[in-house]
Each structure stands twice: as C-alpha cells, then as structure tokens.
Amino acid sequence: MESGSIPAEPPSKTRSFVISLVIFTLVLGMGSLLVFAYLIEPGPGGRMRYLATSGKLLLHRYNLIDQLTPRETRRLYLSSCTRRCHSKDVVELTPRTALEWEQIVTRMKVQEKADIAETEAPKIIEFLQRNYLSNVPTILPEATMRFLKKHLWRLDFGESDLYFDIIYLPREHRHLMPYLAFKSKPMDSDDTLFIVYVNTHTGILPQWDLADITAVKVDGDHELNATSWQILYEDGQQHHRQGILTFPGMSGRNGAQMSSLEVVIRPPAMRERVFHWRLPIPDASAEAIKTEDRG
C-alpha cells in the first residue's frame, strides 16, 4: 500500500449502507403517507378512495389518463371551483346555458388565472353543462326573461333524450339577438327568425339539417319550409347545439295580420314536435308596465 492513500471501503459495507438508506427512505415515505392519510378528511368513500382519486386526478391533470368516472369528475369540479373560488350555492343555484358555462370556465382559466389545466377545463365544463343547465340565457334582466318565456320561448319535454327550445324573434324584438344567439347581431330583414337550442343529456346529437325537417304553419294551414339552418354553437361532446332557423317573410291570408304561428319539426323515426305562438306578440314595455301595476 502506498503511503498516504486512504483504504477503500469494503464492497460489503457500501452495499449495506445503500440498502439501509433505501429501507430508511421507504419507511419514512410510508410513515409520511400514513400520517397524511390520517390527517386528511376521509370523505364519503374513505381515506383510501380519497387517495386513489387524488392520484388519478393528478395523472389526468398531466394528460397521462383521459377518462374519469362521474364521481371523479365531480371531485375535480369541487376542488377546482367551489373549494378555491366560489361557494356551491353561487354555482349550483344559478343554472347557465351550455355556452355560458363554457365562457365562464374559459374566463376563470384565462382572465382570472384560476388553477385549471388544459386537460381539466373540458371535464369541468361538461360536468356543469350536464348538471346545472339552463335552456335559455341567464344574463337578461328578470322582467325581460319573464316576457321572453311567456311570449317568445317555447319548449317540449323531450323524447328519446332529445330536447328542443325555440325562441321566436319578430323584428321588433331582434335587439335581443346578441344576448340570445352566440356572436350574433340584430338582423333587419323580412325573414322570419327562430333561435333553436337542441340538447341531449346522455347521447350524441344527430347531425340533422333542421331546415330539411322543419316547417312553419301560418294561421293553422299555410305551411312554409325553412330556408336555412345556421349552427352558431356546438359543444365538444355534441350534447348541446344552438342555431338560427330562417323562414321567408310571412303574412296572413290575403295580406292580413297573422293570428298564429306553428313550428313543426319532423325528426326522422320520431314523433313530430309542434310549437305554437299566438299573435301578435305584445309590446314588451307595455307588458312590463302591467306587471309593475299588478305588483
């Protein structure tokens, strides 16, 4: 042995040290995990389910898995929206349209800098659309919404999980278009316009051209076919669609004022859907005054 050299550690001692270090690290990690599991709220499914769900949500956040169960999606919504930003009442007692939920989550993510990953936003939007859906926009004043629902908005109760909501827009009410129709402006034309919402809760919306399967009846017998169906909005899951259905300008018999309109939708292999409006539509301001007088 040369003078001044340091004797090397025997291989057996080095191996023992490494093994001891690994065992110590594992024990420390397990102990930390047990302490964490004890301290966290157990939740309805117990601590182990909570930990398993947390791990799966972490994998989903970093795009390592794609699918989440309904329970896991709800946990994602709660942890992203109601535990960080808002109370549950603020979210759940104010249903929104499918488009509005998409806009709200996008605004929270981009403008408000909410901690929502790119992979998480679509799942949160879909959860809100599925569970807290309004079929008509919610941003209009209460008096306007009452008038809208009473005189312009018609809906059915669905068949085969397919729901239609239709809003008739005569020319004097087209100032409402920016609030009712996605990225639309008032249209000063003689055409007859309807804003149509089509929704399903579980399936996928058929790719129908509504102009091909829809007609309007004037005063019960004078039937006209639609001229166009313009899709304005469709969510990524194909559960919600909004568009404008256009018909030619209309008048009653011999040019007289119309007394009624009926929109008839004839979906293939389903019963026809009929929506009825009694005409003329009253003046909105006069209706508001009557409501205030009754109050």
Question: How does pLDDT run across 47-72, given as a tens digit for each residue?
Answer: 677 778 888 888 888 888 888 998 88
Q: What is the pLDDT confidence band of residue 6, given thresholds at 50, 70 and 90? A: low
What domains can you pick out in the chain, each with its CATH number? 33-131 (no CATH), 142-294 (2.60.40.10)
Q: What is the pLDDT confidence band of residue 208, given thresholds at 50, 70 and 90? A: very high
The pTM of the whole model exceeds 0.85: no
Q: What is the pLDDT confidence band of residue 198, given thresholds at 50, 70 and 90? A: very high
Helix (H), strand (E) at residue 199 = strand 192-199
CA separation for the pair 202, 239 (Å, rounded):
8
pLDDT in the model for residue 253: 63
Question: How does pLDDT run across 119-128, given as a tens digit for each residue?
Answer: 999 899 888 8
Question: How does pLDDT run across 146-169, given as a tens digit for each residue?
Answer: 999 899 999 988 788 899 999 999
Over 60: is that where the pLDDT of 244 sits?
Answer: yes
- Mean pLDDT lowest for which of 7-16, 166-175, 188-197? 7-16
Task: Output the average pLDDT for the chain.
Answer: 81
Over 60: is that where the pLDDT of 174 sits?
Answer: yes
Angle in degrees, CA 233, 239, 244, rounded to 5? 35
Q: How far apart are the first and last CA of the chain?
A: 107
List the structure tokens of 242: 């909004």
pLDDT over 90, % of the chain: 27
